[in-house]
Structure formats: structure tokens, C-alpha cells
Amino acid sequence: MLVSKDNWIEVGYTVFALQGPKGIKIEALSKQVKVSKSSFYHYFADVEIFIGHLAKHHLVKSAIIARKENNAQSIDPDLINILVEHKIDLLFNRQLRINRENKLFQDTLIKSNNIIGNGFVNLWAKDLRLNLSNRQLQSIFELALENFYLQINPENLNTEWLSAYFSNLRTLAKNLQS
């Protein structure tokens, strides 16, 4: 079986999203990719370099999400469908957030948030029709984002949970406006 560098990155990306950096073990990854460990070393000198590739891959995925967000007309169903479709990407971002004491993870998290964040804030402001300043919206968004990543997991990241989450967030934002 011919395995490419991209196969390793896709498997590693999913493992990192679900287990964090502690899940990135060459032997376990090689079993999932279904090749020997030497194939890993053919593409990557070590785990650090591999994780660097995962971080770059995440930024590419973030740009894809941002493009989709910019075309979304509403939070429900448009944005929610995008988030469900990109569940692994969100879980990867969650792991970056949890492990942000690592400089690479912190830098990647900041870059990813810059890529994705603005489109979401604009959509959210439009969808909620709030009479708040851009700075107020950004502050609420930052709190909501931190709360969001604390709550998501592979089981609850679905349409029903996201609809309820955004409904609660809408109520909170409207109460702050009153």
C-alpha cells in the first residue's frame, strides 16, 4: 500500500483533535495508517516536525472554514452546518487552546482565531441584530469562544447541541443589551 505524507497528516490531525499532543505516538499512528514506522521517518524527521505539519494543516483548514463562514447567511442553519462539517477542525482547535502553554500551539491558535474569528463575529452581529459596539461584540465573542471550547467534545458537537448553545448565547447577548 502506497502511503503519502498527506495520509500521515490526516491521521495525525484526527488523533491530535481527539487525544491532544499526548496521542501523537509514531507506533500508534503507523497502525492506523497501516504501514511500518519507517514510513513516518521517510516523511518526517521526528514528532516535533510532524506536529509542525499538523499546525500548518490546521491553518489551511481554518481558511476553508473562514471562506464558508463568509458565505453563510445565518447562524442557524448555515454556520451550524459548517461547524458540524468541520467537527475535527474544531476539536483540533480545542486541543491547541488546552495546550497553549506550548509556543507552537499558542501561535497556531492565534493565527487560526484571526483567520476564523472576524467572519463569525460579523455573522453573529448580523444574525442577532444587536445594538452593541464592535468592541462590545468582540468582547462577548471572546468570552463565548472560551466557553464554547470548554464545552465541546466529540459526542456533543452536533446540530442539536449547537442550536441550543447559540440560542443560549443569543439570550445572554440580548440580556446584556437591555
Over the stretch 156-169, which tens digit does the pLDDT of each residue have?
A: 999 999 999 989 88
Region 88-105 average pLDDT: 98
Give the range among 46-60, 103-117, 125-139 with minimum mean pLDDT: 125-139
Report the pLDDT value the prediction gives residue 48, as an integer from 0 to 100. 97
Give the range among 2-6, 97-101, 116-120, 144-148 with minimum mean pLDDT: 116-120
Q: Sign of torsion, CA 122 173 165 15?
A: positive
Q: What is the mean pLDDT of the chain?
A: 91
Three-state SS for 93?
helix
Residue 143: which CATH number?
A: 1.10.357.10
pTM of the full predicted structure? 0.92
**47-71 and 103-128 are packed helices; what angle lies between their axes, rounded to 10 degrees?**
10
Give the domain extent around 124.
5-177
With a cut of 70, say whether residue 90 has pLDDT above it.
Answer: yes
Residues with Cβ within 8 Å of residue 37, at least 6 apart in sequence: 26, 27, 30
Q: How confident is the model at residue 1 (pLDDT cuts 50, 70, 90)?
A: low
Q: Sign of torsion, CA 95 97 98 102?
A: positive
Report the pLDDT value the prediction gives residue 134, as an integer from 0 to 100. 76
* H-helix or E-strand spanning residue 127: helix 103-128
Total domain count, the chain: 1
| Nearest alpha carbon to residue 121 among 103, 100, 136 | 136
Q: How far is CA 75 from CA 122, 136, 154, 172, in A?
A: 11, 19, 20, 16
pLDDT in tens, 32-44: 999 999 999 999 9
Give the cell for residue 84. Answer: 458540524
